[in-house]
Each structure stands twice: as C-alpha cells, then as structure tokens.
Amino acid sequence: MRKLVVISGLLLAVAGCNGQGAQQQSHIRIACTTGMVADMVANIGGDRVVVDQLMGPDVDPHLFKASLEDVARLRQADMVFYSGLHLEGKMTEILASLGKSKPTFAIADFIQSRRVLSDGSKAQDPHLWFDVQLWSQGATGVGKALAAQDKANAADYAKRAEEYRDRLEKLHDEVTKQIATIPRKQRVLVTSHDAFRYFSRAYDIEVESVQGISTDDEPSVKDINELVDFICRRGIKAVFVESSVNPRGMKAVLEGCAARKHKVAEGGTLYSDAMGRPGTPEGTYEGMVRRNVETIVKALR
Ligand SMILES: [Zn+2]
C-alpha cells in the first residue's frame, strides 16, 4: 500500500508542476505517521483522499526521526494525522510546527481522556490501538476533521466513519471471545516492550514486558532478571517478540530461563507498534489485530 500511496503522491506533485492544479484539488493529501493511523484515515477518507504513510512495517515510532524527505512529505500534505500521547516522541517539534500551518490531529485527542492509562507520575500510555473499541472512538473524530476540510462531502465521511466503527466493534467482540478461550491460569502475555496494557485491560489478560512503554531505554540486567523470575515462578510456557522492537532483550530473558532449566517457547512475533507488510493480511489494522490474537491463542492455550 505504501508504494502505491507514494506513487500517487508523486503523480500529484507532477500534476501540480504542469499546472494541472484542478485535478489536484479533487483529493485531500493527507500525511499519516503510523500504519494504524493511515489505515483509519484511508478507510474513512475513501477515494477522496490520498494517504501518505510515513512509517512502514517494522518501523518503531518511539525511535522514528523524520528525515528531510519525510519533512518535505509532511509539508506537502493538506492535513496531517498522527497517533499522539508522545508515541512519535522524536517528532514532537515538527508536529507542533505543522499544527500552526495546517490541520494537524492526534487520534488520541479524539479518544475519551479518562480511559487513557498512565504510569503514575510517568508518561501516558500511547498504545491505544490495542483496545479495538477504544481506538474505534478515533473514527468519529477523523470523520469530523475530514468533513471540516471538505464540507461538500461531509455526509460521506460521517457514513464511512460509522461503518469503520461498526467493523471495529465486531472485531472487538471477536477478540474478547478468542482470548477468553485461553484458560485463566495461562492467560499471561510476556512481550518485548510494555505495549499491551490496553489489550490487557480490554481483554482480561495479564501482561509483563522486558522494557517500559517506550523502547527508548535499554533494559537493565535487573529488569531481565525480574522477568526471568516471573516466568519461572508462574510457569509461563511461551513469550513473544515484536516486529518493530529489537529482540535482544527477549533473547537475554530466554537465556536466563534456560539457565534456570525452565522451558519456555518463543510464541511468535506480534505486531505491536507497526503493522505488517502492505498486501499481506496483517498489513491492515484489522488483519494485524486478528494475526496477533491468533498467535497469542495458539501459543498460550
Ligand atoms: Zn510502543
């Protein structure tokens, strides 16, 4: 999807150079940061928008720094959507500066703030998309933002936003049912970084991780040892790595378990902060959620 999107972006730029601006007017050019944001905006914008997704598969949004080319893409867009709550921690300045010159929205701002998790005095948890129902609240806000930009088609955006919410509502029920099939004692998700707290709350599964809610800091020996203790004590049978996070920390945990003669399997790779490759089922938000749930249920049940 990303390639296609970039190509259409180029075509538009070429059309602009040739003075064929009329055609350009028919689409809203929208730059999005993560795949989850781009998926929502593309679904609601339909064929009236051209979405340029900055962060591809395997890209860690906590660590992503916008290159000069990325900044140019953001500047060219008519609107910008990002995830928010400091997920794009290294883009804070550029996003604030874009907000002064064009409509710029964080999906997090469309979501009930009282349902946002935080770590006591620490930062708010940005991984909202792991609670499918909570994330779906963003759709209404995106629909309204698009309608304000393109009033003539406001009804279309509202309709598609509602359809997207309905689909996600069904997906939420599906995830709830699937996770409930794991016996309670085994319902513990051990992952590379602490991205799954919303998933934990929404679907009643305990979570533990090597790193905190950002991947910015390296895990300490103490963190690793504590997790090894936890896995051995609770008899956890599988742990998971994440597609966008360096597996080094989890490797150390597995070695620690092996040294303690506790057998623990690699449950597979979860899509946490980035979706899968375009054109694959996990290259969409809904497909990514389904693939994660399939991987988790298979390894833990
Ligand atoms: Zn994360």
DSSP-derived letter for residue 82 is: E
| CATH 3.30.365.10 describes domain 177-300 | no
* Cα-to-centroid distance, 197 and ligand 1 (Å): 11
The answer to whether the CB of 291 falls within 8 A of the CB of 276 is: yes
Instruction: Find, among 224, 205, 217, 184, the residue nearest to 270 by Cα.
Output: 205
Given a cut of 50, the residues of the chain with pLDDT beneath it are 1-24
Going from the Cα of 161 to the center of ligand 1, the distance in angstroms, rounded, reads 26
Domain boundaries, the chain: 2-108+119-169, 177-300
- Cα(214) to ligand 1 centroid in Å equals 5
Q: Give residues whose Cβ lies within 5 Å of ion ligand 1.
A: 195, 273
Residues 6+ apart with CB under 8 A from 267: 238, 239, 240, 295, 296, 298, 299, 300
CA of 156 to the centre of ligand 1 (A): 33
Q: Establish whether domains 2-108+119-169 and 177-300 are of one fold.
A: yes
Amino acid 17: pLDDT: 44
The CA 71 to ligand 1 mean position distance, Å, reads 22
141 Cα–ligand 1 center, Å: 23
Q: What pLDDT was estimated at residue 265?
A: 95
Correct CATH for 2-108+119-169 of 3.30.365.10, 3.40.50.1980, 3.30.70.330, 3.90.1150.10 = 3.40.50.1980
Q: Write out the two tokens for 290.
A: 């389904």
Indicate the pTM of the whole model: 0.90
Cβ-contact 76, 100 below 8 angstroms? no
Q: What is the pLDDT of residue 236?
A: 96
- Report how far ligand 1's centroid is from the alpha carbon of 140 (Å): 24
Q: What is the pLDDT of residue 119?
A: 75
Q: Determine the pLDDT at residue 66.
A: 97
Q: Please give the pLDDT value at position 123.
A: 84
Distance 253 CA to ligand 1 centre (A): 19
In this prediction, residue 21 carries a pLDDT of 44
